A and B are shown apart, each in its own frame.
Chain A
């Protein structure tokens, strides 16, 4: 076992953890506000991937996919919110809510596949092999994606912190996460708070998706492929606190990349195919030992 982690591996882990955090924060946020695990998050991410693609086929640098993905995935999430509203008002069981998000995901998967087919047909690209790594810039030998993904991650965390703790809207949002019926009696428009949180969740996922092609090869299936990992990150961090999302993501991200690279030197490069198992394994262990995740441990120490 190497004592020193190679710089390249560290960079990989950093990029992946940042991107994963952007997705996990949305999942935790939605879970806290709407009390449902959002299976359509996969589609939000894939929409981001194809936002970069769309920017690219129209002649823009694919990094323009970031603002585009932000908006498109945000709106997509709002659409799903409107679909869930009648169910939520009826106090539908969590089952029905989960199935609803799953069916939306299936629906969007069809839509995105059609988009990919059309892009391939009209623009003659390999729309199921989206790979923008060669188009990345670099600063002092370090790829641009490192800076951009870290910046996106930090910006999101700071923005959320400011929103939630420095604005009236943020207080209302937190009250909703804590106790929606009480918040409603205090005059909070719970529906609108949920709408806002769905937009935020979609938008962050869209940004994550837009950045993914600068990290690896992507297709329509990529979002679905990583859905389990996104959930693992949220669960390991703890679904009861928003801060759990980045905590879980970085833990999982680093664990995965570091473990893979050390195992690869022992077992060989085939190990990369088993990438999925590590986050799943960690989640299983976390559920067995610490179902509420890591965040509560940290929160308690801060005396909150």
Chain B
């Protein structure tokens, strides 16, 4: 009985963790694509970049904050260093959480900066050039991580401190709850953003660049804002993933998971629509987790890894959605501010 509970608990926690990450990614994508029309096919760049930098820095910060001195190299001998850090960290919950938040903030800043670098060369150019540039940058991140060993030790990666070690038996639960909280905060903020004048301006630009320009709205400025906010969120998601796994490795950040799947999710929900991202994220994360946990059942039946069928399936689903229902399964309803709604209602009532 205990075993089954444990299995369920593992499944649920990993589901929540992955879900939180994807929620943030889809929100980020929605802001960049949905609000400002940026074809961010290189979503992985700010996410991975932030994760790598935190992978590099978090250990050093922890060492400094805790006052631990060691001759071990934090990058190449990270497991040894972590072994020194974690016991001390787990006895100081407040400090741990402070470290966690600090890393999130750093991740957000790195993400934003990387996003700007990524978009800058083509920000004034046509959408297709922008898309190509963003994609190209996306591919580079893993190349750099593997090649530049001082970053995260090349292929082997590094471990990161366990910032929820203070929860003891419930470390994983605490981690995933924290991730979910962060994700929900970000989701709420994005919803709010959509209702602010700035958010609506961005949507206007997305829908009709020329008209918006005629009204004096600067295309570059709003694209930049969308990129900064969206990429900051990406950075946060990368950091969260690093803490969940306890380590950062180049192989974790592939285009399929970090760029393609978020696009598929927002496509399912309709571009620009956060509710759809919720539905999309739920569906695909469930599928993904299910496959991860049960794919060993298929070994021996199929001469190949079942994960590829998953990719084919998703590629096909995307194609079908595009052909038959490009507006998404849950199309966007334009947001009308409350006072306007009231006015429209009363004018309809008075004219009938």
Q: Which residues of A contact B (CB under 8 A)?
A: 31, 35-37, 39, 83, 86-87, 92, 94-96, 98-100, 102-111, 113-114, 117-118, 121-122, 224-225, 227-228, 231-232, 235, 270, 273-274, 276-277, 280, 283-284, 287-288, 291
Does residue B143 face the partner (Cβ distance < 8 Å to A)?
yes
Identity of the chain B residue whose Cβ is nearest the Cβ of A228 in the assembled complex: B136
In the complex, A37 Cα to B311 Cα: how many Å?
A: 22
In the complex, A64 Cα to B48 Cα: how many Å?
A: 40
Which of B308, B311, B318 contacts A99 (CB under 8 A)?
Answer: B318
Does residue B64 face the partner (Cβ distance < 8 Å to A)?
no
The binding surface of chain B is classed by DSSP as: helix
Which of B137, B263, B308 contacts A110 (CB under 8 A)?
Answer: B308
In the complex, A39 Cα to B316 Cα: how many Å?
A: 15
Does residue B133 face the partner (Cβ distance < 8 Å to A)?
yes
In the complex, A116 Cα to B33 Cα: how many Å?
A: 35
Min CB distance B279 to A, Å, is: 18
Asked whether A283 lies within 8 Å of B136 as measured between CB atoms, the reply is yes
Give B25-66 interface residues, CB cut-off 8 Å to A.
33, 39, 41
Identity of the chain A residue whose Cβ is nearest the Cβ of B127 in the assembled complex: A94
Does residue B335 face the partner (Cβ distance < 8 Å to A)?
no
Asked whether B322 lies within 8 Å of A273 as measured between CB atoms, the reply is no
Which residues of the other chain, A, contact B310 by a CB distance below 8 angstroms? 110
Closest 3 CB pairs of A and B: A107-B315, A273-B147, A117-B304
Asked whether B305 lies within 8 Å of A102 as measured between CB atoms, the reply is no
Q: Which residues of B contact A (CB under 8 A)?
A: 33, 39, 41, 121-122, 125, 127-129, 131-133, 135-137, 139-140, 143-144, 146-148, 255-256, 260, 263-264, 267, 303-305, 308-312, 314-316, 318-319, 322-323, 326
Given A83-B323, A99-B318, answer yes or no on A287-B312 (Cβ-Cβ < 8 Å): no
Asked whether A99 lies within 8 Å of B267 as measured between CB atoms, the reply is yes
Seed contacts A114-B308, A224-B139, A287-B133; 13 additional CB < 8 Å A-B pairs: A39-B135, A83-B319, A87-B323, A100-B318, A102-B260, A103-B316, A103-B318, A103-B319, A118-B304, A232-B136, A273-B148, A274-B147, A280-B140
Min CB distance B203 to A, Å, is: 15
Which residues of the other chain, A, contact B322 by a CB distance below 8 angstroms? 87, 92, 96, 99-100, 103
In the complex, A291 Cα to B128 Cα: how many Å?
A: 12
Asked whether A228 lies within 8 Å of B139 as measured between CB atoms, the reply is yes
The binding surface of chain A is classed by DSSP as: helix
Asked whether B133 lies within 8 Å of A284 as measured between CB atoms, the reply is yes
Which residues of the other chain, A, contact B39 by a CB distance below 8 angstroms? 95, 98
Asked whether B303 lies within 8 Å of A103 as measured between CB atoms, the reply is no
In the complex, A228 Cα to B133 Cα: how many Å?
A: 8
Min CB distance A161 to B, Å, is: 26
Asked whether B137 lies within 8 Å of A280 as measured between CB atoms, the reply is yes
In the complex, A235 Cα to B129 Cα: how many Å?
A: 8
Identity of the chain B residue whose Cβ is nearest the Cβ of A90 in the assembled complex: B326
Asked whether A227 lies within 8 Å of B135 as measured between CB atoms, the reply is yes
Min CB distance B131 to A, Å, is: 6
Asked whether B314 lies within 8 Å of A98 as measured between CB atoms, the reply is no
Asked whether A95 lies within 8 Å of B303 as measured between CB atoms, the reply is no
Which residues of the other chain, B, contact A110 by a CB distance below 8 angstroms? 308-312, 315
Asked whether A102 lies within 8 Å of B133 as measured between CB atoms, the reply is no
Asked whether A111 lies within 8 Å of B318 as measured between CB atoms, the reply is no
Min CB distance A106 to B, Å, is: 4
Which residues of the other chain, B, contact A86 by a CB distance below 8 angstroms? 323
Which of B127, B146, B309 contacts A273 (CB under 8 A)?
Answer: B146
Which of B33, B129, B256 contacts A106 (CB under 8 A)?
Answer: B256
Min CB distance A275 to B, Å, is: 8
Asked whether A103 lies within 8 Å of B315 as measured between CB atoms, the reply is yes
Identity of the chain A residue whose Cβ is nearest the Cβ of B128 in the assembled complex: A37
Which residues of the other chain, A, contact B140 by a CB distance below 8 angstroms? 228, 276-277, 280
26 A–B contact pairs at CB < 8 A?
A: A35-B128, A37-B131, A87-B322, A94-B127, A98-B131, A102-B260, A104-B319, A105-B315, A106-B314, A106-B318, A109-B311, A110-B308, A110-B309, A111-B312, A117-B303, A118-B303, A228-B139, A231-B136, A235-B129, A274-B143, A274-B147, A276-B143, A277-B140, A280-B137, A283-B136, A288-B121
In the complex, A270 Cα to B311 Cα: how many Å?
A: 33
Which residues of the other chain, A, contact B148 by a CB distance below 8 angstroms? 273-274
In the complex, A270 Cα to B148 Cα: how many Å?
A: 9
Asked whether B308 lies within 8 Å of A287 as measured between CB atoms, the reply is no
Identity of the chain A residue whose Cβ is nearest the Cβ of B256 in the assembled complex: A106
Asked whether A291 lies within 8 Å of B260 as measured between CB atoms, the reply is no
Min CB distance A208 to B, Å, is: 18
Asked whether A227 lies within 8 Å of B139 as measured between CB atoms, the reply is yes
Which residues of the other chain, B, contact A106 by a CB distance below 8 angstroms? 256, 260, 311, 314-315, 318
Min CB distance B327 to A, Å, is: 10
Asked whether B129 lies within 8 Å of A291 as measured between CB atoms, the reply is yes
Asked whether A291 lies within 8 Å of B125 as measured between CB atoms, the reply is yes
Asked whether A98 lies within 8 Å of B122 as measured between CB atoms, the reply is no
Which residues of the other chain, B, contact A103 by a CB distance below 8 angstroms? 260, 264, 314-316, 318-319, 322
Asked whether B326 lies within 8 Å of A92 as measured between CB atoms, the reply is yes
Min CB distance B260 to A, Å, is: 5
In the complex, A100 Cα to B136 Cα: how many Å?
A: 18
Min CB distance B283 to A, Å, is: 16
In the complex, A288 Cα to B269 Cα: how many Å?
A: 35
Given A113-B308, A114-B308, answer yes or no on A96-B326 (Cβ-Cβ < 8 Å): yes
In the complex, A114 Cα to B306 Cα: how many Å?
A: 9
Min CB distance A272 to B, Å, is: 8
